[in-house]
Structure 1
Amino acid sequence: MSGVRRPIGDEVVCGDAFAFVDTPDAVTVLVCDGLGHGDAAAQASREAVRIFQEGPGLAPEAVLERVHRGLSHMRGGAVAVARIERERVSFAGLGNVSGWIAHAEGRQGMVSLPGIAGHQGRRTQRYEYALPPHATVILHSDGIGDRWDPGSLPGLFARSPAVVAPTLLRDAGGRRDDACVVALRRRA
């Protein structure tokens, strides 16, 4: 598992954040894109990470619901939580954090519901996906364009997540927004 982020343009602080919880049975990750940029966005993302780390064993939709409630007194953000267990991914998202299951032949999108954690949103919902062998789970903020294609990046998804995440940031990340990308693989 690996993640990278960078702030918009010449900004010093990044409004996007991520965190992992690694247990013997699963790896769970949260990505939060705080609304806007700068200190207020970074504060919202840090709060989402803090809430996530308080309940490491919770299901993704329960974590998302707690983050949604916890960000109600601040700017809020787009948030996604994914848990990888053996041959499946459980995913819950609110807003425009993208979730993908990528492999050499292509990718499958995961469903994130419309809304803003902390402000607007429906009831959270978990979606389940099969995780093929050697696939990589990718979560990224909207600072990473959705047009990247595993087919146009030959050999990338056979590499370590520590290579995948920064390559996607470099190749698909724009400079007009904070950007964050996380890459995870299932355990063998």
Structure 2
Amino acid sequence: MNIGGSMTQVLIIEDSSQIGHARRTAQHLAEKNGFDATDAGRVALVATELASNILKHATRGEMHLRVVPRISGAGIEILAIDRAKGFDLQACLADGFSTRGTQGIGLGAVSRQTDVFDAFADARGAVLLTRFYPRSDKAPDRRIGVSQHSLHDDPACGDVFHLAFDGSRISALVIDGLGHGEEAERAARAGEKTFARSPFTSPMLLLEDIHIAMTGTRGGALAIAQFDGEANALRFVGIGNIGACLIAPDKSRGMASHPGIVGGQYRKAQPFDYAHVNGHLLIMYSDGLQSRWNLQDYPGLVHRHPAVIAAILHRDFCRGRDDVTVLVIALETAHG
């Protein structure tokens, strides 16, 4: 299975009039991706609750929407994101609890309507994740999270990501085309197209083929990570400033890239092998994200769903002056 990159849709929530827009947008996205009336209704109900919760709890926030590709069909992901003072998540999930004098059934109802529900809240704010799949789709959720945004909401994005799955193997690509806008996107898409044809070829051969495909474009930075769950190992190669690290609950390992420009010039490329990676998080990100973050500053976050982690990193460390991609993958054989 291959998953091509797509940007996150962002809805600003700062006024009650935007609740209806959020509901309609989410419901339309579900219907467009094959949800029947009942399942699309679940999506609409939860979108309404999440938007209302942002206004009640934080007065302002965002909802991030994504399509979650599946082997057959697709799911819908909605994240509610704010920068308020935080709240007691377990208390708020209990029916009857309210901080604002309302009935207090919102988050409890949300968790029951969704196929995946997770959240993280601290003094910096809260992120609530919901995912929906058609009731007829019994495949398990893939523990992968993506947050991808273009500079100034440009319809063109110079960042791309691509994921491929084959049993217990995962191959992941992130490319950051030089600059931003249409020409940066053209460069990155040329590399992605080549990667998608044979994503489990050796990383060095892939790099050479992508370099040729991106010659004549602006070029860009690139990182490829290939995980083999059966071998409990990961191989990584990077050129340029795509950040990457492996994170366990008790330690973090940065992954080295070489200087240069794919499609332009680089002097050296070398793959690096990492053993005993089952149960780790793989995080790959373009330089639209600051590199000074540390998940240990967020106690317990390493155990949350990768989509929650990606959203928090984007919320707190986006530079705001370039396209940005954050890709978080839980390395586990269950992906197969």
TM range (shorter): over 0.9
The answer as to whether partners of 1:8 and 1:176 remain within 8 angstroms in 2 is yes
How far residue 123 of structure 1 moved from its aligned partner, in angstroms, is 4.0
Matches within 5 A, 1:92-171: 92-171=237-316
Secondary structure of the structure 2 residue equivalent to 1:118? coil
Q: Which of 149, 171, 177 in structure 2 is aligned with 1:28?
A: 171
SS of equivalent to 2:152: coil
How far apart, in 2, do the equivalents of 1:162 and 1:90 lie? 23
Give the structure with the higher percent strand: 1
Q: Match for 1:77: what amino acid?
A: G
Q: Deviations over 1:52-109 (max 9, x none)?
A: 1011220222212211111011110000000111222100001000110013334211
CA deviations on 1:105-127 (whole Å, 9 max, x unpaired) are 34211111100000011243210
Conserved? CA contact 1:104–1:150, under 8 Å: no
Give 1 or 2 for the bigger CA radius of gyration.
Answer: 2
Task: Output the CA distance in 2 between the equivalents of 1:14 and 1:154.
Answer: 33
User: 65-74 or 7-16: which moved more?
Assistant: 7-16
Quote the Cα distance in structure 1 between the aligned partners of 2:188 and 2:147: 14
RMSD: 1.4
1:131 CA drift (Å):
4.0
Contact between 2:247 and 2:282, CA under 8 Å: does it hold in 1? Answer: yes
What secondary structure, in the 3-state scheme, does the structure 2 residue paired with 1:84 have? strand
TM-score when scaled to structure 1? Answer: 0.94
Residue aligned with 2:192, SS: helix
- Among 2, 19, 28, the alignment partner of 2:162 is 19
* Bigger relative contact order, structure 1 or 2 (CA pairs below 8 A, ≥6 apart): 1
CA separation in 2, counterparts of 1:136 and 1:146? 16
Unaligned runs of at least 5 residues, structure 2: 1-143
Equivalent residues of 1:61, 1:81 under 8 A apart? no
Q: Give the conservation status (yes or no) of the 8 Å contact 1:98–1:142.
A: yes
1:73 and 2:207 matched: no
Percent identical among aligned pairs is: 35
Cα separation, 2, equivalents of 1:172 and 1:61:
31
Structure 1 position 55 matched with structure 2 position 205: no
SS of the equivalent of 1:116 reads coil
- 1:10 CA drift (Å): 4.2
Which amino acid letter does the alignment assign opposite residue 234 of structure 2?
A: V
Aligned pairs, number:
188
Q: Could you tell me how far 1:12 is from its partner in structure 2? A: 3.0
**21 and 132 in structure 1: CA distance in 2 versus 1, 3 angstrom threshold:** closer
TM-score, with normalisation over the residues of structure 2? 0.54
Aligned to 2:99: none
Q: Greater helix percent: which structure?
A: 2
